[in-house]
């Protein structure tokens, strides 16, 4: 009698995740390489263009299938003090663009390693991880809810659950990448992303699956004595 092959973590997707994956398939960036998107986005960064204008130009230049409503969501979610948060937009281009897991991991690395130092610290990798998680749960999910796609109540509840687990996944991934170390080399990072069973962060569906299998950090219990009135004698 043969052994039953165990399912991968990434095969255990929720109905919400599967439905959003179908919705997202309409917006995959298939016509250009990740590097073309990245180069254009970095030019926006140098020009300090407002978010809305940068996204409008990007959409026109690459003939992106983005509705006006989706561009509004982009502007809201990718805004940083009135300007475009290029980290998040590059993360979006990487996660939704064409390319192998290796190519995408390499591009994610260079979000933080723009000087090609071949070594990054925890704060650098945290910057990458934070962008990947945000992009995976805040743009297309918000758009699907706005368009009344699937079951809005279920998607809204799911979105809340994913957001509650974001910080915990961020910490878990940092432990996975670093262990007791304080720096990581590029080849180590790419290998962990490509081969690691708990660190596949090059696709939004996989990131959300990781969130679904991550326990939220418990909220701190309120101090029961904080507001207690005491009588002082003396």
First-to-last alpha carbon distance for the chain, in angstroms, is 82
Poorest-confidence range of 166-170, 181-185, 228-232?
A: 228-232
Higher pLDDT, 19 or 227: 19
pLDDT digits (tens, 9 = 90+) for 143-163: 899 888 889 999 999 999 999
For residue 6, the model assigns a pLDDT of: 45
Higher pLDDT, 115 or 7: 115
Residue 154, domain extent: 27-212
If one counts the domains in the chain, the total is 1
Q: Is residue 128 part of a domain?
A: yes
For the entire predicted model, the pTM comes to 0.84
For residue 67, the model assigns a pLDDT of: 77
Q: Is residue 104 part of a domain?
A: yes
For residue 210, the model assigns a pLDDT of: 95
Q: Is residue 170 part of a domain?
A: yes
Q: Is residue 14 part of a domain?
A: no
- The residue assigned the tokens 């219990």 is 221
For residue 10, the model assigns a pLDDT of: 67
Poorest-confidence range of 6-10, 39-43, 151-155, 199-203?
A: 6-10
CA 140, CA 73: separation in Å to the nearest integer? Answer: 9
For residue 83, pLDDT over 90 is answered with no
Q: Is residue 109 part of a domain?
A: yes
* Percent residues over pLDDT 90 in the chain: 48
Q: Is residue 11 part of a domain?
A: no
Q: Is residue 66 part of a domain?
A: yes
CA 169, CA 132: separation in Å to the nearest integer? Answer: 11
Angle (CA) 19-24-27 rounded to 5° is 160
Q: Is residue 4 part of a domain?
A: no
């Amino acid at each position: 009698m043969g052994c039953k092959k165990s399912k991968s973590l990434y095969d255990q997707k929720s109905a919400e995740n599967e439905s959003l994956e179908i919705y997202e398939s309409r917006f995959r960036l298939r016509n250009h390489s990740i590097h073309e998107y990245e180069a254009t986005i970095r030019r926006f960064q140098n020009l300090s263009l407002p978010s809305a204008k940068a996204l409008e130009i990007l959409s026109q230049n690459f003939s992106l299938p983005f509705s006006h409503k989706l561009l509004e969501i982009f502007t809201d979610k990718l805004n940083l003090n009135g300007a475009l948060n290029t980290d998040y937009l590059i993360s979006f281009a990487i996660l939704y663009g064409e390319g192998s897991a290796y190519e995408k991991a390499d591009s994610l690395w260079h979000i933080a390693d723009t000087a090609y130092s071949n070594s990054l610290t925890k704060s650098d990798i945290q910057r990458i991880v934070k962008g990947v998680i945000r992009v995976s749960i805040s743009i297309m999910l918000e758009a699907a809810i706005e368009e009344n796609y699937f079951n809005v109540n279920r998607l809204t509840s799911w979105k809340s659950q994913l957001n509650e687990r974001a910080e915990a996944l961020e910490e878990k991934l940092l432990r996975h990448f670093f262990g007791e170390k304080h720096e990581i080399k590029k080849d180590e990072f790419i290998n962990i992303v490509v081969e690691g069973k708990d660190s596949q962060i090059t696709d939004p569906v996989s990131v959300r699956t990781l969130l679904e299998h991550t326990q939220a950090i418990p909220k701190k219990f309120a101090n029961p004595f904080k507001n207690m009135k005491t009588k002082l004698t003396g």
